[in-house]
Structures are given as structure tokens and as C-alpha cells.
Structure 1
């Protein structure tokens, strides 16, 4: 039976749903653990194993490699496996993998190769976890409440990404790497317990017809995603957005820290403003989605994100502008950037979860996510070329132009008029 209350009406009670409360709690503490582990791993790479620039790039690439080679396959499996069980097993796997780091440190066995193995295993486990998590959510939350659920998840994710690195760096200094990674393992173990408490009915998928294999499932997911009237422009817009984001994110840090000579503490403050913007955007995302419709809320976010990057591309900033001026401009740009993402992410993810039948959720999500990772990978390489050939601000301007193209895809497509309640009714 369809819930006709609408996205906003269920907002106050979304965390009152026991299954979502467990899901949200586990996701939140895992997000904090991931953020803390991220900065701790970076410190280990630079200060403990003293990795060369080439080794650092290899370690960075290893976190993406599983998506490039396994993303579509695992997405297809998620439409045939129990998603909750997969989520619990992968979180336990993360706890064990993170728990291996203190042992390696104590045994003085942590080197480039052992850390590379850890990073690769964590990448595979993260892929499994993400592939199970997104299609599981519509099973534990009414489809008309997906925007509220994703907004809650987005808020906690933003807070984790803002505060987590600072907390991780502080704990690394106070208690040392072995105890910090032991704490990370314990947090993931607690998350696994919370995930195991989720009560959800997952129907057994129909057996594959004779002669059909996982490749046929993957092809069906691709066809569904790229032939669907509104999912196709949504997917294409997201892919273009990821291309733009890969360019500006790659250029941003180098431009601000090197060209504008912004101190490290000020750079951290600017990123914190981005987190605050993301939290604010996620707070109002459900109301915008209910009032304007999913398509127009997504279009608003896609269009708004052009402004901060275009502003940075055109702003007459130099290292001589002064820390206060540079920080003000950069922090304002980061706030608007985060705000735009907060608005569009909750509506984007919720719409695709609501519009797709449960039997193809895993493949649809993995199709979009895998292509996004491929686009980001090559976009980051393109950013290096643009910085070298054009310079920092022209490269950012190119990124702003690509963001505009992502908004244009939504503007000229049927997605513009899409609404969350219509998606929930049609699934």
C-alpha cells in the first residue's frame, strides 16, 4: 500500500522506525570511523612507511580499482543476495582488516606492500557495503520517506566528513596509531551489531532461466538505467557532474595551497564551511523536494554548484591578497558548493531508489556508481593536463562549464518535471 503522506509529513518520525534507526546509527558511526581512518592512513603513508610519490598514487588508485573491475558484477549479485547479510559481513570484514593494522605495527611488518593489501581489501569491502546499502534502504523505509531518510544520512555523513579527520588526527597524536586503529575496528564491530538488528523482509529472487548468467543480469541493469525515460537523463547528468567535480576537486587544493598560499589551518577551516553547507542543504532537501518536485530540486542543486566554482575562476585573488580575503572567498565558495550537494544528493539518490523496482535496485545503483568512478578517474587525469596547459583558474572555469552542462541535461529532459510521489507510485 502506498504511503500518501508525502516526504515532509513523515520527516519527524523517520528515526522512529526501528529498522532505519539501526541503519542510520550504524551508517553514522561507520562514517566517523571511515573519516578518522582516512586521515590516519594518510599519516601512516607519509610518516611511517615514508611512501614515494609513485607509491602514494598507487595506494590512492587501489581504493578505486575495485569499482572499475567489480562494480557491475557486485551490483548484479546484490539483486540476488541478501543485502542486509552482505552489509553485516562486509562491516565485520572491515573491523578485522582495520584490526590487522595494529598487529602489523607492533610486529614492525607494516610496509608499502602490506598497507597496499589493506587498502585494496578495504576498497573491495567498501564496494560490497555500498552496493548492499543503497538498494537495502527502500526495503526498510517507505518510498515516500526516502528523501527524509537520505537527508538524515547525508547530514550525519557531512558531520563525519567535517569533524572526523580532525578527531582522527588528534587521536593519532594522543594515543598513537595502534590504539587508534584498534578503536576503528571496535567501532566497525559495533556497527555490524547494529546492522544485524535491522528487521527487513527480503524476498528470494527468482532463479535464473537456463542459459542465463551474471552477464545477462548486468546487461539488463544497463538497459534499464539508460533506456528509462527519467533515469537516463539522471544518470547522464550525474556522470557529467562527476567529470566536473573530478576537475575542480583535483585543482582546488593545489590552487589554494600553492598559488594562493593559504595556510593549512585556513584550508581546513574552508573545508569545514563546505561541511556546514552540506549539512544545511541536507536539512532543507526534503522540503524542496516536496515543494518543487525531485527534478526541480535536483536542477536547483546542479545549477547552483556552478556559481562557487565560476566565482573562484574569476576572482582576482593572489597570494598577496591576504589570508583573510582569500579565506573569506574560498570558505564562501565551499559553503555554497556543499549546500548545493546537500540539496541534490538527497533528492537524486531518493528518486532513483524510488523509481526502480526492488529486483533491479542493485544493478541500477551499481551501474551509475561504477560509471561515476570511471569518469572521476579519467577526469582527475584531465585536471592535471588542464592545470599544466591552461593554469589553475582556467582549469576551474572548465570545471564550472562542465557543471553547467550537467544542469542543462536535467533542464532539457523529462527529469525536470519528475516528482518523488510519482516515482514511488510507479515502482
Structure 2
């Protein structure tokens, strides 16, 4: 393709994708600010770290509880209206929080309610957006769109956390006001989105929601490539989440300053952003199997290196290296799954995967905490390394992944 033709065919020239991406980039930054500040606000109101953690966990719990029915509802209802309703719900919740902070009437119950609304709204919005993506961008640009959405999320979390801390230092209500404004902008952008009609007309047919959820679960389990990649991703996410906490404990025990620990955490995001920007090219160059397997190979090779490092900045480089290639695997897997799955099941696909991976991400820190309680940090790192190595060995020899995707399934 010539340079002129490539520019004309650029994803940036897709009006509807640009509207969606830009609006959600702002909303991601706003959400990142709120997620960073919300536990700090709870701590300031109550002085209890336990209550602070509770408020933060409510958001994650809401996403997990709503995830499966959300996917079914996304396949049942108008997806653009779902996204608009989710943005509106977040605007109302955030406006109420800004109001009680300005009037000095905020309570823990209110914070918990706001966190629940934000979590439930995200659980509905994300499968609606994922399922709509193949109808907004052409098939040959879908991998790039998936990668750019990953970059958007990483940038939003990094920038939002930094901005949230700054705004919170200037006034308790300011981070939530910023988040409120970003969701208002995102709502307006969505209002102008032209989402093509679905292939199958939406009907008012009454079916049992549980049955529809079961259909989504059966679809995920019946497709070998979806089933295998999901199980492998869950195991990797579980042990890496545990490993992250164990390494933080290890670094603290070795006298790494808190400032360097913060850099370690932020480098995860840096690796994700850089990886997302190079993911479309690596996706094409490496091919499906190597795009997926290389993440596991690199993780297995790098996890024990933490035992040899005492410097927080070098540990941050290690974390960045471990997350650098994750977006490439996500791009390969996500693109194929969207193209493979019928439109009427895409919402449920996204819901099932979000719950599976999210559960592993929630259980992982608990596993890491147990390992550091029962073992010293060094053997705990070894346990995590062995867990990652075992799933890597399976990925390496799996016939399903070695022939991913099969011809005729694309």
C-alpha cells in the first residue's frame, strides 16, 4: 500500500472510532484519578485503612458481580444506548459526590454507593464497547484498534493517577469534578457516534437471562482457542499478581525507598503503553502463536531476576520488560476472538473474559499475601516463578496454540 493510500486508510481518519477513542481516553483519565483518590478520601474521613480498602474493593466487586449478566444484556439491548446510560450514571454518581464534599456532608455509605455505581457502569460499558468495535472499524484495522484501546487504558490509568494526586492536594472535590467533566465530554462524543445497525434486528423476545449467560459460557468453553487462551491468561494473571505483591515486600525488606517502590509500580504502566504502541507491528511480524507464547517465555525468564536486584529503579525496568509484550498477545487474542464470535454473542464473550481474568487479578494479591506470610519473600518468588513456568510449558507445547488460529476459523 502506498503512503498516500495508507494515510487515507488510517484509523485516525475513522470519524466514529476517533470520537469513541478520544471520549473514552478522557474518561479513562478521569476514572484513574477517582480510583486513586477514593481510598485516600475514605481514609481521611474515617482514619481506617480497612474502610479505605473496603471502598476500593467495592468497585472491583461490582464489576465481577455484574460482569456475566452485563454481557448478556449487551447482546440483548441497544449497545450505543447502554454506553450512553453508563456515562450518564457515572455523571450522576460523581455529581452527587462532588456536592456532598462541597457541603461537607460526605459519608462512607455514600462513597461505597458511588464506587458500586462506577464499577457496575464499567462492567456494562466495556462489553458494549468491545462488541461494537467490529462494527465501527473494518476488519483489517481491528488489530490496530484493539491495541490503541489498550494504550488508551494504560495512559488513562497513569495520567489519571498522577493528576488525581495533584488535584486532591488542591481540594478534596477536584479529582471527582475532573472525572465528572471527562464523563460529560465522553457522553457528548458518544451521542455523535454513528454505530451501524446490527446484523440481526433487536427484538423484544423474552428469554431467561440465566439461559443467555449459559449460552455465553458454553460458547467460550466450546471454542478450543478461546478456552485455552483464557485459562492460560487466568493462570498467568494469578501468579503475576501474586508475584507483584511478593516483589514489593521483597524490595521493602531490602531497604528500597518508598519513592523507588512507586517508580516500580509506575513502570508497569510504562511497559504497557510502549507495548501497546508497538503491538500492531509485532502482531503482524511475529504471527499468532509467537505473539502469544513470547509473553509467557519472557515472564518465565524474568521473574527470577528479581532475586538478583536490590535497586528499585532496576526493578521497575524489570516490570516494564515483563509487561512490554502483553499488549501484542492481547491484540492477537482479542482480534481473533472478536472476528470468530458472532455479533449476537460478543457482549457475553467480553463479559465472561472480564470476570475470569478479573477474578484472577483479585485472587492473585491474596495468594501473594499468603505466600509472604507462610514463606520468606525469596521462596515466595520461586513459587510464583514455578507457577508461571508450568503454564509457559503448556503454552509452548499446546497444539491449539501452535496452530492458532486455525484456517477457516478466522
TM-score over 0.5 for the alignment? yes
Q: Using the TM superposition, give the Cα deviation of residue 188 of structure 1 relative to its aligned residue in structure 2, in angstroms.
A: 0.7
Separation (CA, whole Å) in 2 of partners of 1:291 and 1:10? 21
Q: Given the alignment, which residue of 14, 37, 40 partners 2:11?
A: 14
Counterpart in the other structure of 1:190: 185
Counterpart in the other structure of 2:305: 311
Q: Using the TM superposition, give the Cα deviation of residue 417 of structure 1 relative to its aligned residue in structure 2, in angstroms.
A: 2.7
Q: Using the TM superposition, give the Cα deviation of residue 11 of structure 1 relative to its aligned residue in structure 2, in angstroms.
A: 10
Q: Using the TM superposition, give the Cα deviation of residue 92 of structure 1 relative to its aligned residue in structure 2, in angstroms.
A: 1.7
The CA deviation string for residues 79-105 of structure 1, in whole angstroms up to 9 with x for no partner, is 111112111110121122112112111
**The 10-residue stretch of structure 1 (408-417 or 240-249) with the greater mean CA deviation from structure 2:** 408-417
Q: Given the alignment, which residue of 118, 124, 134 partners 1:122?
A: 118
Contact 2:98 2:176 in 1 (8 A): yes
**The 10-residue stretch of structure 1 (405-414 or 108-117) with the greater mean CA deviation from structure 2:** 405-414
The CA deviation string for residues 16-58 of structure 1, in whole angstroms up to 9 with x for no partner, is 1111101110121111111111222132122x21342332332
**The 10-residue stretch of structure 1 (370-379 or 232-241) with the greater mean CA deviation from structure 2:** 370-379
Q: Against the structure 1 CA distance between its residues 413 and 64, is the aligned structure 2 distance closer, same or farther, given a 3 Å change threshold?
A: farther
**The 10-residue stretch of structure 1 (101-110 or 359-368) with the greater mean CA deviation from structure 2:** 101-110
CA RMSD of aligned residues (A): 2.6
Separation (CA, whole Å) in 1 of partners of 2:8 and 2:93? 36
Q: Against the structure 1 CA distance between its residues 316 and 179, is the aligned structure 2 distance closer, same or farther, given a 3 Å change threshold?
A: closer
SS at 2:325 equivalent: helix
Q: Against the structure 1 CA distance between its residues 277 and 378, is the aligned structure 2 distance closer, same or farther, given a 3 Å change threshold?
A: closer
Contact 1:79 1:361 in 2 (8 A): yes
Q: Given the alignment, which residue of 264, 271, 289 partners 1:277?
A: 271
**The 10-residue stretch of structure 1 (355-364 or 266-275) with the greater mean CA deviation from structure 2:** 266-275
Contact 2:256 2:312 in 1 (8 A): yes
Q: Against the structure 1 CA distance between its residues 192 and 355, is the aligned structure 2 distance closer, same or farther, given a 3 Å change threshold?
A: same
Q: Tell me, which stretches of 5 or more residues in structure 1 are unaligned? A: 318-325
Q: Against the structure 1 CA distance between its residues 49 and 254, is the aligned structure 2 distance closer, same or farther, given a 3 Å change threshold?
A: farther
Runs of at least 4 residues off by over 6 Å:
9-12
The CA deviation string for residues 89-136 of structure 1, in whole angstroms up to 9 with x for no partner, is 101211221121121112222122211111111111111111212111
Separation (CA, whole Å) in 2 of partners of 1:407 and 1:70? 31
- Return the TM-score normalized by structure 2: 0.91
- Return the TM-score normalized by structure 1: 0.87
Q: Given the alignment, which residue of 164, 167, 175 partners 1:171?
A: 167
2:81 counterpart of 1:85? yes
Q: Against the structure 1 CA distance between its residues 243 and 44, is the aligned structure 2 distance closer, same or farther, given a 3 Å change threshold?
A: same
Q: Tell me, which stretches of 5 or more residues in structure 2 are unaligned? A: none
Length, aligned pairs only: 406
